[in-house]
């Protein structure tokens, strides 16, 4: 009678703790990118037939940072980074509201500045709500898929983890965000809305795909310098 063949258990995925300064730097950068993209998103942008918003060139950076944090530190730390960045974004939105509500000068210059502030920062709270729901859902899905794939493949096929998680996360993020933010930037008809969603999804995903070599290099650099990685 032959004994059953046994296979060694797969090693758990490697992650680092957050004791080093690298996580704090990336978290601060993610929060700044998110706050600036929320302001930019209040402006509708038309580049030929392409409909997007003023934060289009910034927002993919937040997802790239989320990929780095998820790969190096794991899902729980990535979730803390998402919540922290959005708490700071909500705080910034509250500050905008207070600044707009404060009494200003009654002269022509003061009135024009007040109108400019209301036009630029007034829609931001709704944009923050759109980002909060969209990024929270999309980035959480992105991080969860990336970490689950890492549990199966270990340190191999990083490019596949980055690309696969990005497609799912960006689709959910774009659909939720555009559904809430479209009316703020003046999109009212169905055709323009579909253009907004499709262009936003394709653009964000393409940027992440193009930056996969850079993201992978950044991940490798941090892994080598994180004393606790894999410990």
- What's the pLDDT tens digit per position in 32-43? 998 888 788 778
pLDDT above 60 (res 4): no
Is the pLDDT at 28 greater than 90, yes or no?
A: yes
Q: What pLDDT does residue 75 have? A: 93
pLDDT at 20 over 80: yes
**Spatial distance between the Cα atoms of 196 and 179, rounded to a whole number of angstroms:** 10
The DSSP 8-state label assigned to residue 148 in this structure reads H
CA nearest to 65, candidates 146, 127, 129: 146
- 189 has a pLDDT exceeding 80: yes
Report yes or no: 150 and 13 within 8 Å, Cβ to Cβ: yes
Query: What pLDDT sits at residue 142?
Result: 92
List residues bridging with 52 in a β-sheet.
45
Q: Provide, rounded to the nearest whole percent, the portion of the chain with pLDDT above 70.
A: 94
């Amino acid at each position: 009678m032959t004994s059953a063949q046994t296979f060694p258990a797969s090693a758990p995925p490697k992650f680092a703790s957050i004791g080093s300064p690298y996580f704090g730097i990336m978290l601060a950068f993610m929060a700044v990118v998110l706050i600036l993209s929320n302001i930019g998103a209040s402006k509708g942008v038309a580049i030929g037939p392409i409909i997007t918003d003023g934060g289009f060139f910034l927002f993919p950076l937040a997802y790239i940072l989320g990929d780095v944090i998820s790969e190096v530190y794991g899902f729980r730390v990535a979730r803390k980074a998402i919540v922290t960045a959005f708490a700071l974004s909500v705080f910034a939105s509250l500050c905008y509201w207070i600044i707009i509500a404060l009494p200003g000068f009654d002269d022509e210059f003061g009135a024009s500045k007040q109108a400019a502030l209301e036009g630029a920062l007034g829609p931001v709270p709704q944009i923050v709500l759109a980002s909060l729901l969209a990024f929270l859902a999309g980035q959480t899905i992105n991080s969860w898929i990336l970490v689950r794939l890492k549990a199966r493949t270990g340190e191999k096929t990083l490019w596949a983890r980055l690309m696969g998680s990005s497609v799912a996360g960006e689709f959910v993020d774009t659909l939720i965000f555009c559904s809430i933010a479209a009316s703020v930037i003046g999109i009212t008809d169905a055709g323009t809305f579909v253009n907004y969603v499709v262009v936003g999804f394709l653009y964000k995903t393409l940027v992440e795909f193009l930056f996969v070599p850079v993201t992978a290099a950044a991940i490798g650099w941090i892994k080598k310098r994180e004393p606790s990685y894999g410990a």
